[in-house]
Structure 1
Amino acid sequence: MGDDLDNEWWLTEKEQTEKDADKEQEYDVSNSKGKVKGTGNKKRSYDDTVAVAEETSEQAKKKKKPKKKKTEEIEVKESAGQWSDVVGSLRDYFKGKIPVIEFEDLILSEENFLPHNEYLNDLSTYLTCTIRKWKKLSASDELKTKSPIVLVITSAAKRAVDLNRQANNFKGKCTSAKLFAKHMKISEQSKFLSKNKVHFAVGTPNRVSSLIDQDALDITAVKYVILDWNFRDLKKRRMVDIPEIKKDLLNFLKDNVLPTILNGSRLKIGIY
């Protein structure tokens, strides 16, 4: 009897056999689907893990990879100007622009220059190393009005202010003059120079030339003219690289400094 409980007794033997076969087929199909489903899930889980790992690796590479600069920086190798650079600039600029006789006068020798600023020291250090008799000169009773002992030529007003400050350790307690357009009117500068014995002056070539033309500044008694030759602005330009400043500078040298030297003055040119 126990064996007959699972059978449907009213069916014939043939009908029971067919029904049992149908159940076995359903079981096999159901079991097969379960296996495929399970296998599929495992495969997708593995693929997802690999994809996440690859994505994380790519992100790490991107973080480590340095960013490219949008614009390339202008690199200029700093080198100290020498006396031959000044003479070369003079001759190149005025070649074919002035008579041959004047052009021949543009020749200066190393003896007309102070040692150049080989190690690109600050202004106080450079002046201390090259002008050894400063204390004696600044204390001399022979100092005249309108004629500073040291005249520094630079490109702009702001730079002139900076240089005047940089020279404090060298200057000590002495009278200074700022000779550029944004500090005082030219009439005020002329009045100051005529009333004071100035030891140290710093200015732009245009304003200094204008003061000389008005007899407010006497360069014949100046001992040292220091050119701020090596300084570069934000665009990496020296004053000899800026057309309008270059014109003023080289004309100042040709019209005022060179004639003073050729007339027998012991004036020395420094290249800072």
Structure 2
Amino acid sequence: MLASKNDFCGDFWLLKNVSFDPSDDEAVEKASDNRTATHQDSDSKPAVKKKRKQPTECFLSQPEEKQETTVKAKRRKKKKISDILQKTASKPGVPADLQNLLSQHFGENRSVIEIEELKLSDSCFLPSNDLTHSFSSYLKEICPKWAKLRRNHKEKKSVVMLVMCLSLFIFFIARSMTAFKGDCRVLKLFAKHIKIKEQMNMLEKGVFHIGVGTPGRVKALVEQDGLCLNSTKYMILDWNWRDQKLRRMMDIPEIKKETIDLLEMSIIKLCREGSVKLGLF
């Protein structure tokens, strides 16, 4: 089929206007190479990260919680014996107090019959101090015939009157009886600064009318036959005086035990026989 004239003329016009330069192919290749190179460079460079805005913290306002008032449990302060004794008013000692003390001490270890044997009748006791007397005035009331007893006492290793108290109270007792004792001799029977052998030697060599001492030392002297109680007529127990800690003699366990042991050893028997009278000062 023959091409038309119009088609032939169009092709001629295109060929006429297109210039064939051999360098154009190279330029096209270079341009394409440049494009690929720039594309590769752009790919090789790390992408610049845009800085993200840090989100600002947002706090929701909450209603304030009411602080719970926690009440701490108070520790119970352990009661001291001085606190208890400070609240208890001093009462005059009576025979029933000593009887109750003996019953409580021996109640668990003794039979009913043995406890009955330790009980004393009211006739075994002297009038108790009503807290209005000094020691001298109290002795004058309970021993109106003291002068006669003092003159008749000639035995060694013995005393007419025994006063049992704490060691701190011994010197006060010895000084406070000056108006009562007259010219009688008083021997201090306690463990501090005086050895028991020295006291035994003094009792053997001389005659003493009053012995003022602690229950422990008097008990030791009786056990070692340094002190004889056959001539003793009165035994006075300090019942009301208190030390700096407000303790009485019977509030201290060791002293209380020594006192009860001494009473059980010989005093209760002598009281039952009527030769010794007990007094609570």
Same fold by TM-score, threshold 0.5 exceeded? yes
Contact persistence 1:220–1:265 (CA under 8 A): no
Indicate whether 1:233 and 2:243 are aligned. yes
Cα deviation code 1:88-108 (max 9, x no counterpart): 101111112235443221110
Contact persistence 2:85–2:246 (CA under 8 A): no
Indicate whether 1:121 and 2:133 are aligned. yes
- Indicate the residue corresponding to 1:221 in structure 2: 231
Paired with 1:231 and 1:119, the residues of 2 have a C-alpha distance of: 10
Contact persistence 1:76–1:236 (CA under 8 A): no
Cα deviation code 1:5-25 (max 9, x no counterpart): xxxxxxxxxxxxxxxxxxxxx
Indicate whether 1:143 and 2:178 are aligned. no
Distance 1:90 1:120, change over 3 A: farther
- Indicate the residue corresponding to 1:104 in structure 2: 116
TM, length-normalised to structure 1: 0.69
CA RMSD of aligned residues (A): 1.9
Shift of 1:120: 3.8
Paired with 1:91 and 1:183, the residues of 2 have a C-alpha distance of: 35
Cα deviation code 1:108-130 (max 9, x no counterpart): 01100110001341110100111
Indicate whether 1:185 and 2:232 are aligned. no
Distance 1:208 1:73, change over 3 A: closer
Give the 5 Å matches for 1:1-272: 74-140=86-152, 142-155=153-166, 157-262=167-272, 264-272=273-281
Paired with 1:95 and 1:73, the residues of 2 have a C-alpha distance of: 24
Cα deviation code 1:59-104 (max 9, x no counterpart): xxxxxxxxxxxx9993331211011111110111111223544322
- Indicate the residue corresponding to 1:10 in structure 2: none
Paired with 1:247 and 1:233, the residues of 2 have a C-alpha distance of: 18
Paired with 2:154 and 2:90, the residues of 1 have a C-alpha distance of: 37
SS at match of 1:202: strand
Amino acid at match of 1:226: I
Rg: which structure is higher?
2
Number of residue-to-residue matches in the alignment: 199
Paired with 2:204 and 2:84, the residues of 1 have a C-alpha distance of: 51
Paired with 1:214 and 1:73, the residues of 2 have a C-alpha distance of: 36
Contact persistence 1:179–1:204 (CA under 8 A): yes
Distance 1:257 1:196, change over 3 A: same
Paired with 1:72 and 1:222, the residues of 2 have a C-alpha distance of: 36
- Indicate the residue corresponding to 1:59 in structure 2: none
Gaps of 5+ in 1: 1-70
Shift of 1:201: 0.8
TM, length-normalised to structure 2: 0.67
Contact persistence 2:85–2:247 (CA under 8 A): no
SS at match of 1:234: coil
- Indicate the residue corresponding to 2:35 in structure 1: none
Distance 1:216 1:73, change over 3 A: closer
Amino acid at match of 1:178: K
Shift of 1:256: 2.0
Paired with 1:139 and 1:227, the residues of 2 have a C-alpha distance of: 24
SS at match of 1:105: helix
SS at match of 1:237: coil
Paired with 2:95 and 2:151, the residues of 1 have a C-alpha distance of: 29
Shift of 1:136: 0.6
Paired with 1:158 and 1:237, the residues of 2 have a C-alpha distance of: 12
